[in-house]
């Protein structure tokens, strides 16, 4: 055996086979391994560092008021020392939920079409479209919302809703400007669609083709196959994709801020203005050092946002990664 490995490296390696004396090469390897390892600590620790930094800076206000006062307080008057996040928390959830409700059917249908029906030619057109949609910056979405969606809500959707659905509280039109939850929800739906569609598409492709063929072979239609075989298989991944999309919607700042109206109130209709947490933080960063506890209040708002999003994100990512790994394994 030794004869075969006769080459320039023989001198170096003969000793290594019997006694592990580190050669320069292995030492270099060990050093590299340690250095690389330290680099991978960065992403893992960054999550903790961000959380702790925000916690430390928001400690003064968490110390000064009970948490329930902050979270469920209705009044926001920093100059009077009143910091109630409740209207903002509700605003965040209203906007995100409307966005998700609009995005989910669109994304589910599109991803099923791309995964199960479309020819590879259609897919190769759809992929760059989704990539471009994902690449458009939030502020451009905001401009689009301002120029297209707000007038559309004002001139088309609000009158329609007023006429046909006006008696239902959540569809009643109280402030006819177009700015509000619905406009923000529509913009958000389009913004999070590319992410949700591509995650759902990946999830659908984890289903082995054998199952599709088995169902089609007995004469099922494609939709019957999807409905009976594929959807039950991928349901956890689909829900995870939706949760992931929701977490993006919760944190979106600039685009929402530009179309949502920014009035701190508890919304009752999708045509009402709202004031989500990210918009609150972004709009007031300028004066946050000028009023006592104001900076701590805004950073605690960021902390609340971060914690909710972390939970959403980690849960959905665990499910998605597990489903995708199952595909790699098979």
| Nearest distance, CB of residue 254 and other proteins, angstroms | 4
Whether the Cβ atoms of residue 88 and residue 276 lie closer than 8 Å to each other: yes
The SS3 of residue 255 is helix
CA 171 to mean position of chain CA atoms: 27
CB of 304 to other proteins, least distance (A): 10
Task: Please write down the long-range contacts of 318-324, taking CB distance under 8 Å and 24 or more positions apart.
Answer: 319/236, 319/237, 319/239, 319/240, 320/199, 320/202, 320/203, 320/237, 320/240, 320/241, 320/244, 323/203, 323/206, 323/234, 323/236, 323/237, 323/240, 324/202, 324/203, 324/206
Closest alpha carbon to 264 in 274, 255, 272: 274
Closer by beta carbon to other proteins, 172 or else 222: 222
Which lies closer to other proteins via its Cβ, residue 173 or residue 323? 323
Smallest separation, CB 169 to other proteins (Å): 28
Q: Compute the least distance from the CB of residue 75 to other proteins, in Å.
A: 23
| Cβ density class 297-315: b for 16+ within 10 Å, e for less | bbbbbbbbbbebbeebbee
Least Å from the CB of residue 167 to other proteins: 28
Taking the complex as a whole, the smallest distance from the CB of residue 309 to other proteins amounts, in Å, to 6
When the beta carbons of 138 and 159 are compared against other proteins, the nearer one is 138
Closer Cβ to other proteins, 21 or 328, answer by number: 328
Question: Which C-beta is closer to other proteins: that of 71 or that of 229?
Answer: 229
Shortest Å, Cβ 58 to other proteins: 9
Nearer to other proteins among residue 177 and residue 222 (C-beta): 222
Sign of CA dihedral 156, 188, 281, 140: negative
Minimum distance of other proteins from residue 98's CB (angstroms):
16
What is the C-alpha separation between 123 and 198, in angstroms, rounded?
11
The backbone torsions φ and ψ at residue 83, rounded to the nearest 5 degrees and listed phi first, read -125, 80
Nearer to other proteins, 74 or 221 (CB): 221
Question: Counting Cβ atoms within 10 Å, is residue 223 exposed (0-12), middle (13-18) or buried (19+)?
Answer: exposed
Closest to other proteins by CB, 115 vs 173, is 115
Q: What's the closest the beta carbon of residue 299 comes to other proteins, in angstroms? A: 6
Nearer to other proteins, 77 or 127 (CB): 127
For every residue of 52-117, DSSP letters joined together read: HHHHHHHHHHHHHS-HHHHHH---EEGGGTEE--HHHHHHHHHHHHHHHHHHHHHHHHHHHIIIII
């Amino acid at each position: 055996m030794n004869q075969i490995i006769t080459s320039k490296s023989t001198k170096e390696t003969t000793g290594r086979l019997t006694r592990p004396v580190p050669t320069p090469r292995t030492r270099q390897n060990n050093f590299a391994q340690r250095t690389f390892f330290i680099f991978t600590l960065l992403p893992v620790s960054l999550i903790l560092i961000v959380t702790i930094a925000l916690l430390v800076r928001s400690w003064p206000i968490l110390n000064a008021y009970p948490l329930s006062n902050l979270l469920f307080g209705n009044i926001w008057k920093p100059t009077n020392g009143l910091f109630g996040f409740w209207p903002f928390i509700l605003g965040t959830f209203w906007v995100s939920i409307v966005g998700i409700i609009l995005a989910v059917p669109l994304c589910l249908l599109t991803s099923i079409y791309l995964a199960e029906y479309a020819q590879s030619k259609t897919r190769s057109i759809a992929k760059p479209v989704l990539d471009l949609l994902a690449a458009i910056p939030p502020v451009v979405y905001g401009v689009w919302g301002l120029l297209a969606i707000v007038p559309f809500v004002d001139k088309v959707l609000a009158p329609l809703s007023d006429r046909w659905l006006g008696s239902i509280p959540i569809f009643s039109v109280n402030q006819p400007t177009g700015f509000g939850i619905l406009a923000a929800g529509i913009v958000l739906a389009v913004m999070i669609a590319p992410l949700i569609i591509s995650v759902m598409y990946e999830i659908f492709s984890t289903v082995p083709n054998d199952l599709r063929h088995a169902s089609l072979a007995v004469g099922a239609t494609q939709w019957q196959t999807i409905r009976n075989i594929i959807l039950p298989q991928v349901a956890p991944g689909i829900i995870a994709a939706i949760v992931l999309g929701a977490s993006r919607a919760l944190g979106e700042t600039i685009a929402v801020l530009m179309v949502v109206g920014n009035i701190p109130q508890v919304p009752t209709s999708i045509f009402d203005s709202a004031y989500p947490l990210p918009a609150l933080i972004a709009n007031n960063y300028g004066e946050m050092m000028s009023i006592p506890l104001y900076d701590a209040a805004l950073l605690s708002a960021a902390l609340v946002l971060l914690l909710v999003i972390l939970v959403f994100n980690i849960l959905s990512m665990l499910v998605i990664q597990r489903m995708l790994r199952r595909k790699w394994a098979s």
